[in-house]
Structure 1
Amino acid sequence: MKVTLPKPNRTFGPADMLGLVGLVGLLIARYIPVARLIPFWGCALRETTGWPCFGCGLTRVADRVAHFNLPGAWDANPLGTLAALFFALMVVVTVLHLVFAMPIPQLHLSPTEWHRARIAAVTVILLNYAWVVVKTKFPHLLA
């Protein structure tokens, strides 16, 4: 793994896009009750089968993180909470980068490291899904 630090700049890049997406998403979650306004909003898989999908709880996570209810967000979906907090961090990084020309470190991974990162990501996603399933279908196991 190699980390490089570019010269200070205000060039809009991928990290800034993540910050912009995070800002828009968290503002929508904070001020617009999407789940109440859109009549068909919800998990179709959960409504038809009773089983949660991989993204179940993400609307609640966004709403709760936007309202600073981190325990409630964690309860809805732990990995979604970490993702929402990452987007919030990217908002701060984007502001620092575009306003104060703070350089954003660039991470360079070898093919082997990318392979390991993909395996780790799939493992974490599956573990999170298992937790969501247990929380939804078998809550007595968590008591």
Structure 2
Amino acid sequence: MKVLIPPRNRRFGTVDALGLAGLVGLLVARYIPVARIIPFWGCVLRERTGWPCLGCGLTRVADRVAHFNFVGAWEANPLGTVAAFLFALAAVVMVLHMVFGVPIPEVELSPREWGVVRVVMPVVIVVNYAYVVVKTRFPHLLL
């Protein structure tokens, strides 16, 4: 892995876009009760079959993280909670970068490291989905 520190700049890049998306998303989750005001909001798969989809719990995660209920967010969807924290971190980095010109480090992974990422990420997604399924369908199995 190589980490490069570019010179000070204020160029809008990928991390800034993710930070802006995270900032807007968390502000909407904090101040607008989307799940209550949009009548068709919800998981169609879960409503029809009782089984959660891969994204079940993400609205609750955003709402709970925006209201600083981190335990509740983790219980709704652990991987979604990690993603929400990464979006919040990207928002902080975006502000530091765009306001103060703090450079964003560029990380370059080797082909071997990318191979590890390609193996580990699907496993993490499957384990997270298994947790969400057990949490919604078989909560008595959790301690």
Residue in structure 2 matched with residue 85 of structure 1 by the alignment: 85
- Would you identify which runs of 4 or more consecutive aligned residues in structure 1 move more than 2 Å? none
SS at match of 2:3: strand
Q: Which residue of 2 aligns with 1:8?
A: 8
Q: Give the counterpart letter for 2:66 in structure 1.
A: A
CA distance in 1, matches of 2:130, 2:78: 11
Over the aligned positions, Cα root-mean-square deviation in angstroms equals 0.7
Q: What residue in structure 2 maps to residue 137 of structure 1?
A: 137
- CA deviations on 1:28-59 (whole Å, 9 max, x unpaired) are 10011100111111001101111000000000
Task: State the TM-score, normalized to the length of structure 2.
Answer: 0.98
Question: What secondary structure is seen at the aligned counterpart in 1 of 2:39?
Answer: coil
1:32 and 1:64 map into 2 onto residues whose CA distance is: 13
* Range moving further from structure 2, 119-128 or 54-63: 119-128
Equivalent residue number for residue 47 of structure 1: 47
Structure 2 counterparts to residues 1-143 of structure 1, below 5 A:
1-143=1-143
Q: Could you give the per-residue CA deviations for residues 55-108 of structure 1, whole angstroms, max 9, x where no partner exists?
A: 000000000000011011011001100100110111110000111111111111
Equivalent residues, number:
143
Q: TM-score when scaled to structure 1?
A: 0.98
Identity %: 70
Partners of 1:97 and 1:109 in 2: CA distance: 23
Code of the aligned partner of 1:54: L
Q: Separation in 2 of the partners of 1:85 and 1:8? A: 25
CA distance in 2, matches of 1:139, 1:106: 42
Instruction: Using the TM superposition, name which of 16-25 and 111-120 deviates more.
Output: 111-120
